[in-house]
Amino acid sequence: MGIFSSIVSKIFGHHDSAAAGSAGASQPAADAPAAAPASAPASAPAAPAAPAAPVDVEAVLTQMQASHGEQLNWRTSIVDLMKLLGLDSSLSARKELASELHYSGNTEDSAAMNIWLHKQVMQKLAENGGKVPDDLK
């Protein structure tokens, strides 16, 4: 699994285990209609609605920050965002993330790369079903 996939998994998985469970629950729900057709219509509309709802990235990260011991500036720092998510935030990990996201700048200029990475991660989260405020993109 790539670093960006880990970021998505941590945020979207933390948001609501029901969102992850909905995907799994929709398969057992498919079995349930055969056993109980009367209850199937009631649960069928609920299952597709859960995955369609965007994940509020800011709310998830704010909640994670509230329960985190260290004060991190995840709103502007890719290093702090990765730390908050429990991911390796080393320069080599950030270079790997930059490669995954097709960074074309100089990876030796870590300040410029970090700014680009944070912005790109927020944009990609939005593209993948995350609700990200404009000031974070």
- pLDDT tens, position by position, 87-107: 999 999 999 999 999 999 999
| Structural contact between residues 134 and 126, judged by C-beta atoms closer than 8 angstroms | no
- pLDDT tens, position by position, 33-66: 444 444 444 444 443 334 457 999 999 999 999 9
Q: Percent of the chain having pLDDT more than 90? A: 67
Confidence of residue 15 (pLDDT cuts 50, 70, 90): low
Burial 26-55 (b: 16+ CB within 10 A, else e): beebeeeeeeeeeeeeeeeeebeebeeeeb
CA nearest to 91, candidates 111, 70, 116, 65: 111
19 pLDDT above the threshold of 50: no
Within 8 A by CB and 6+ apart from 97, the residues are 3, 4, 78, 117, 121
β-bridge pairing 130-131 and 55-56: parallel
Q: Quote the pLDDT of residue 53.
A: 79
Tokens for 98, please give them.
């930059």
Q: Quote the pLDDT of residue 52.
A: 53
Beta-ladder partners of 43: none
- Segment 61-81 mean pLDDT: 96
Q: Quote the pLDDT of residue 14.
A: 72
CA nearest to 11, candidates 79, 76, 73, 63: 63
| Structural contact between residues 137 and 119, judged by C-beta atoms closer than 8 angstroms | yes
- pLDDT tens, position by position, 105-123: 999 999 999 999 999 999 9
